[in-house]
Amino acid sequence: MKRSAFGLSSKTGLYIALLTITLTTWLCYRPSLQNGFTNWDDHLYVTENPDLDLLKPGNLHNLLTKDYASNYHPITMLSLGINRLMSGNDPKGYHRVNLAFHLFNTLLVFWLIFLLWKRINLDFPIWGAFITSLLFGIHPLHVESVAWISERKDLLFTFFFLLSTGCYIKYLNTLKTRSYIYFISAVLFFALSLLSKAQAASLAVTLLLIDYLFGRNIWDKRVLFEKIPFFILSVFLGIIAINAQKVNFHLADKYDHFQRLVFASYGYSSYLLKTIAPFNLSAFYPYPETITAVYYLALSSLIITISVLFFFRKNRVIVFGILFFIINISLVLQYFPVGDAIMADRYFYVPSIGLFFLIAFAITNFTKNYRMGISLGLTAYIIGLAVLTTNRVTVWENPVTLWESVLSYNNKTAIAWYNLAHYRQYTLADFKNALSDYNKAIECKYDKPDRAYNNRGDLKISIGDTEAGIADFNQALLINPQYFEAYYNRGNAWQRKDSLSRAILDYNRSIEINPLFYLAFNNRGYAYCAAGKLEKAIESFGQAIELNKKNDEPKAFSYFGRGNAYLIKGNYQKAFADINSGLAILPIDHQALQLKKTISEALKSSTANL
């Protein structure tokens, strides 16, 4: 019976390896099951996304055809929709699925590396696959992809990416029998990967790299012909992804080509350094205010990489590991900037396999003579990574822990101050700290200052400082004259001050900019009612009810408002019907219940008079 690197039978070693990988990874990420949602994209994908209700007609079509958060990834959205059916809006259900996919991906990495190791006849394939997949499973740079619910797309695209790659290797192993089932499977899995996240486009080139590792002539007509369906899918779905991301390309004009090369080099070198020493991690790495010497020094990482590739050009294994990383990280190195971050931990998820493969290759080459020392060192390193990962998972517990962690990395990160303020204001009602956070966001030049001023104005209204709130709304509208929500909020402030004509003007302006904004119709109805313009009030409430497709609290108040207007006009039948419609949505509203009682008495009185 064949023996593994540590004297165990191959079968026993395989079972121990798989069990160790699965259990260790699960233990590291188990705390994520206690985490909640964040206020960073989770609301766009899950908590405030009505399209996730698959039981509602038309929603399946929406999930498969619409862009979400400037991304087209229908398979990801479908998985979130299925998650909604299973667990509603309970975050634990989404975290369970994320963790399950990460465990699957870790085991698929083991399978993939095992296939590669066996095909090129390296010693100790189980040991090589074990090291690679264990590092993949527990590395702290992967926490973002697993603990952030919105990064389901990362886990799904990797799942299908690895299946496609594995099937392609199996296809190469069956070339003599001309069985194409594995090739067809590889193409289908690649399509699913692309439909989960566009970053999968690098697979087409990765397959050529596997051909190179296996000694195939990558310029052979047959080898190139095999890649045609992969490149066609990459180009077609890549164009769709680029169109969806156009809104995030604003930084391309801000920096010239050399500066973008510097930033790409900085991200590249940072990934390499954090692979070995994963410290000082952040959910958001902002672009620098000024490009210092550290960023220019990062250009040396490209020179070093080219030198290493040249020196080891005859060693296909080393060249494969380095190029696997480069090919799969190149699209997200921000030479073509997408978003406001210079790099992101989540981009490292698939590219890391190449580096972990190299580490495993280096370790297995030393185990023959330094088996005990290498084993002890690796064990200590794995324990260290596990501790860092477990701690990192808790950073994603809620928006406060997340954004405070980002600010501990860089306290001038404006988006962190803004998102922290937003959560404290609208979820925790912690107005004092939220006000301080908005001030910091504005001071740090948040790239959407109109939103910061608008929300701070709304906060000031909530604490009774109406004049200061109006001043903030004025500032927001000075920055963005088409900001319909700022007009709406300023209208609320005027209504609070009993300046009804000004309130109505602002509500009208809000409606002109966004004719579907039912909240403005609703509050305009209350302003009309207070001004004694009952017919206009009834009309405005009716428009709010018609536009609001949800049976939520605002719709209930539209019914209550119109019912009150009908009551003042003496139309008790319609008033009674509207109050009942509102109470069907919000059955414990005490004012509405009292109003219903008043209307009932008025109906009885009018009936008695008849």
Q: What is the mean pLDDT of residues 322-334?
A: 94
Q: Decide if 387 contacts 26 (C-beta within 8 A).
A: no
Q: How far is CA 165 from CA 102, 162, 214, 237, 329, in A?
A: 17, 5, 14, 19, 17
Q: Is residue 177 part of a domain?
A: yes
Q: Which of 332, 364, 395 is the last residue of a domain?
A: 395
**CA 254 to chain CA centroid, nearest Å:** 25
Q: Is residue 273 part of a domain?
A: yes
282: helix, coil or strand? coil
Q: How many domains does the chain have?
A: 2
pLDDT band (50, 70, 90) for residue 121: confident
Q: Decide if 233 contacts 203 (C-beta within 8 A).
A: no
By residue range, what is the domain housing residue 591? 516-610
User: pTM for the complete prediction?
Assistant: 0.91
Q: Which residues contact 235 (CB under 8 A, 6 or more apart)?
A: none
In angstroms, rounded to a whole number, what is the distance separating the alpha carbons of residues 104 and 107?
5
Q: Which of 374, 395, 416 is the last residue of a domain?
A: 395
Q: Is residue 292 part of a domain?
A: yes
Q: What is the mean pLDDT of residues 153-164?
A: 98
In angstroms, rounded to a whole number, what is the distance separating the alpha carbons of residues 336 and 341?
12
Q: How many CB atoms lie within 10 A of CB 373?
A: 11
* Average pLDDT of the chain to the nearest whole number: 92
If we measure between CA atoms, which residue out of 157, 161, 156 comes closest to residue 187?
161
Select the more confidently predicted residue: 547 or 340.
547
pLDDT at 245 over 60: yes
Greatest mean pLDDT among 102-111, 335-344, 544-553 lies in 102-111
Q: Is residue 541 part of a domain?
A: yes
If we measure between CA atoms, which residue out of 202, 205, 114, 111 comes closest to residue 157?
202
Judgement on whether residues 387 and 525 belong to the same structural domain of the protein: no
The 10s digit of each residue's pLDDT in 56-110 is 999 999 999 999 988 899 999 999 999 999 999 899 999 999 999 999 999 999 9
Q: Is residue 428 part of a domain?
A: no
In DSSP terms, which residues pair with 37 in a beta bridge? none
Q: How far is CA 116 from CA 170, 226, 344, 576, 608, in A?
A: 10, 19, 28, 74, 91
Q: Which of 344, 370, 395 is the last residue of a domain?
A: 395
Residue type at 594 in one-letter notation: Q
Q: Is residue 352 part of a domain?
A: yes
If we measure between CA atoms, which residue out of 206, 213, 223, 225 comes closest to residue 162?
206
Supply the pLDDT for residue 551. 80
Cα dihedral across residues 237, 331, 355, 405: positive or negative: negative
Supply the pLDDT for residue 595. 87
The 10s digit of each residue's pLDDT in 386-411 is 999 999 999 999 999 999 999 999 99
Q: Is residue 446 part of a domain?
A: no
Report the greatest alpha carbon distance in the chain: 107
Residue type at 23 in one-letter notation: L
Packed helices 181-194 and 228-245: angle between N→C axes, nearest 10 degrees:
10
Q: What is the mean pLDDT of residues 249-269?
A: 84
Supply the pLDDT for residue 70. 83
CATH number for the domain harbouring residue 574: 1.25.40.10
Q: Is residue 466 part of a domain?
A: no
The 10s digit of each residue's pLDDT in 504-540 is 999 999 999 999 999 999 999 999 999 999 999 999 9
